[in-house]
Amino acid sequence: MYFNQKTNEQLKKKEIREAISLAIDKTKLVNEILQGQGRAINGPLLPGMVGYKEEETAQIIDLEKAETLLKEAKIIEVGEVEEAKEAEKAKKPNQLTLTTQSGEEFSLVAEFVKAQLETIGLEIEIITVPSQTFFDDVIAPRNFELLLTTVMFDATQDPYLFWHSSQTGSAGLNIVEYQNAEVDKILESARSTIKTEERQTAYQTFKEKLSTDLPAIFLYQSTYNYAVSRKIQNIKLDSIRFPFDRFSKVNEWFIKTKKTFR
């Protein structure tokens, strides 16, 4: 879930972004909304990616601290707004919009997030945009405050495309226009070396920097399910990133075996 700090000034306050992060129970989301068909995640690195560590799955949920952070940021104190001449029309500091694309899963997750954030005093309006126009109406013009959408890695699984400052602008995939010179250098160094240990160190540092800046919250990784006939043996799948990955090592599949003399 992305934070657009340019369309809502309140989201520039890290206390608010942190409060939102502390309020969303990702494990509950996976178990109740996804019926267990997924895993909670807490960073940009997924299992199987260079730099990923298993302990990244831990999450801290603290509603009391979340409420305190909002009070410190003065987002749930609206006295000053009420004194305005057009207070009735003014948007209160605790009001945010959550934009997502059409689809049952997105709708259910958005409603879950809305309910969780309202427990700490935020007011969330869900905006659903048809999938066919989602990129042109939302992604390209960066037309959102909170954005619930998917991240699809290519075969290289390179986070550079999503977080390097060169990827900002309507044509890039750096959706929140995130810019951090240190992160740029880290991502560049990870791309320029073929040494696994150096890449692991670089991506771990990148993950830590991103967690500190908090430009987005990483909620869950979906489980990709598909049916396979019981007759087919020796199917070995490490991960599926594209539909055609279902047929990985198809040359090793078999239905029947027979003994032969050598």
Look at the block and give the residue holding tokens 């996804």.
34
CA-based R_g, the chain, Å: 22
pLDDT number for residue 55: 64
pLDDT number for residue 93: 85
Cα–Cα distances (Å) from 205 to 45, 95, 154, 200, 216, in that order, read: 11, 34, 21, 9, 17
Identify which has the larger pLDDT, 252 or 88. Answer: 252
Q: Name the average pLDDT for the chain.
A: 87
- pTM, entire model: 0.83
Residue 113 burial (C-beta neighbours within 10 Å; 0-12, 13-18, 19+): buried
Q: What angle do CA 19, 21, 24 make, to 5 degrees?
A: 105
Distance (Å, rounded) from C-alpha 24 to C-alpha 166? 31
- pLDDT above 70 for 129: yes
Q: What is the pLDDT of residues 146-202, one digit of tens each?
A: 999 988 766 567 899 999 999 998 888 999 999 999 999 999 999 998 898 999 999
Which stretch of DSSP H or E encloses residue 199?
A: helix 196-213
Residue 116 in contact with residue 23, Cβ under 8 Å?
A: yes
- pLDDT above 90 for 205: yes
Tokens of 177: 């226009």
Identify which has the larger pLDDT, 261 or 100. Answer: 100
Within 8 A by CB and 6+ apart from 232, the residues are: 253, 254, 255
- Nearest alpha carbon to residue 139 among 182, 166, 171, 114: 171
For 2-229, the fitting CATH number among 2.60.40.10, 3.40.50.1820, 3.30.160.70, 3.10.105.10 is 3.10.105.10
**Mean pLDDT calculated for residue range 113-129:** 96
Cα–Cα distances (Å) from 77 to 7, 9, 73, 242, in that order, read: 20, 15, 9, 47
Distance (Å, rounded) from C-alpha 19 to C-alpha 62? 9
pLDDT number for residue 85: 40
Distance (Å, rounded) from C-alpha 184 to C-alpha 160? 8
Cα–Cα distances (Å) from 120 to 31, 64, 114, 139, in that order, read: 22, 8, 11, 28
Residue spans of the domains in the chain: they are 2-229
Q: What is the pLDDT of residues 21-47, one digit of tens each?
A: 999 999 999 999 999 999 899 888 887
